[in-house]
Structure 1
Amino acid sequence: MSITTAAPADVDVRGPRFSAWVTTVVLAAGLLIAGTDPHLGAAVLAAQAAVFAIGALAGPRRHPYGQVFARVVAPRLAGPTEREPVAPLRFAQLVGLVFSLIAVAGFLTGAPVVGVVATALALAAAFLNAAFGICLGCQLYPLVARARRRPGVALGEPLTVESKGIRS
């Protein structure tokens, strides 16, 4: 008889912060490269978008940078003292994916300002997470989750007296 155990619902906080440092470097490189060659910069950002997609769909344990952390960095560290839930991290990766895809589209369609702004916003968010442990996507996650659970109110629907179930 074999016993299988599910992976813990939480991850070591140092893994996502390591990933944020790598992401910061990749986004900064993409931004700098796009300044001289927008198509090459878009390629770098598209590669980062693929990494974000893996993180959003498969979670931090299958994230390429998370794999590097788990196999190379974590074995050299003491055990984790702090853990964080996976769902907000996946949402943050989704937000990063959206911004990086907007950046790629901007650089490829001749709208470099759109590309620069989208990349700069993603870069700022990645740096905040890496340097200070402030995950902006994780901070947004509870708000979005709460909005999705609200019965009778669709996302994007303006909140009115009628949508809140109050009759005048």
Structure 2
Amino acid sequence: MSASDGPGAPAEAARPADPPLDPRGVRFAAAVTTVVLALVLVSGSGWLVAAQALVFALASFAGMRFALYGVLYRLAIAPRLGPPAEREDAAPVRFSQTVGFVFAAVGAVGYLSGLTVLGIVATAFALAAAFLNAAFGFCLGCEMYGLLARARTARA
């Protein structure tokens, strides 16, 4: 039973179901996100972190099949690789995109409103999470999703 099954899963009823994901694509997206967020910290660009927030929002609210970096992976990289050995549930990854959206949106607001420290801190947190996934395959948002699911199950 995955973290997204059963009554303890975070509310996803209003969202369309996503098919299982190729974990290599998830890590590719995390690597691209890592580069983008590192560029934000180097440049201080509120517009670049706002663009990343839109990338997160698209995946979070429209679904993982519309995730910009995932589409790039499916079109340009996946055809050159063999089929994945396994697939992973999309719900935890989608939740992590929502968390990323929140941090990137706060970062954009910080940079664009002159609250640079807020922008730096929020962007750095998002960068740390993206780097953990890209480098080590550890999805912090996915782990949060599982913890929330178990907490809800324990309360029920």
Indicate the TM-score class for this superposition, using the shorter chain for normalisation: 0.7 to 0.9
Distance 1:8 1:22 in 2: 21
Distance 2:79 2:114 in 1: 45
State the AA in 1 paired with 2:74: A
1:30 aligned onto 2:30: no
- What displacement does 1:66 show? 0.4
Q: Deviations over 1:43-94 (max 9, x none)?
A: 0000000000011112322101100100110000011002110000000000
Aligned equivalent of 2:13: none
Distance 1:18 1:59 in 2: 17
1:51 aligned onto 2:66: no
- What displacement does 1:144 show? 2.1
Structure 2: segments with no counterpart, 5+ residues: 1-16
SS of alignment partner, residue 88 of structure 2: strand
State the AA in 2 paired with 1:70: R
| Runs of 4+ that moved beyond 6 A | none
Aligned equivalent of 1:90: 94
State the AA in 2 paired with 1:33: S
SS of alignment partner, residue 11 of structure 1: coil
1:17 aligned onto 2:27: yes
- What displacement does 1:19 show? 0.4
Aligned equivalent of 1:78: 82
Aligned equivalent of 1:154: none
**Matched-pair contact (CA < 8 Å) for 1:53–1:93:** yes
Q: Which protein shows a greater Rg?
A: 1
Q: Quick one: which of 116, 121, 124 aligns to 1:117?
A: 121
- What displacement does 1:147 show? 4.1
Distance 2:18 2:128 in 1: 30
Q: Quick one: which of 49, 65, 72 aligns to 1:68?
A: 72
Percent identical among aligned pairs is 55
- What displacement does 1:146 show? 3.8
How large is the RMSD of aligned CA atoms in angstroms? 1.6
Q: Looking at both structures, which has the greater relative contact order when contacts are Cα pairs under 8 Å and sequence separation is at least 6?
A: 2
State the AA in 2 paired with 1:140: M
94-103 or 141-150, larger mean C-alpha shift: 141-150
- What displacement does 1:8 show? 7.2
Report the CA distance shift for 1:8/1:110 in structure 2 as closer, same or farther (over 3 A): closer
Aligned equivalent of 2:7: none
TM-score (norm 2): 0.83
Structure 1: segments with no counterpart, 5+ residues: 1-6, 35-40, 152-168
Aligned equivalent of 1:100: 104
Higher helix content, 1 or 2? 2
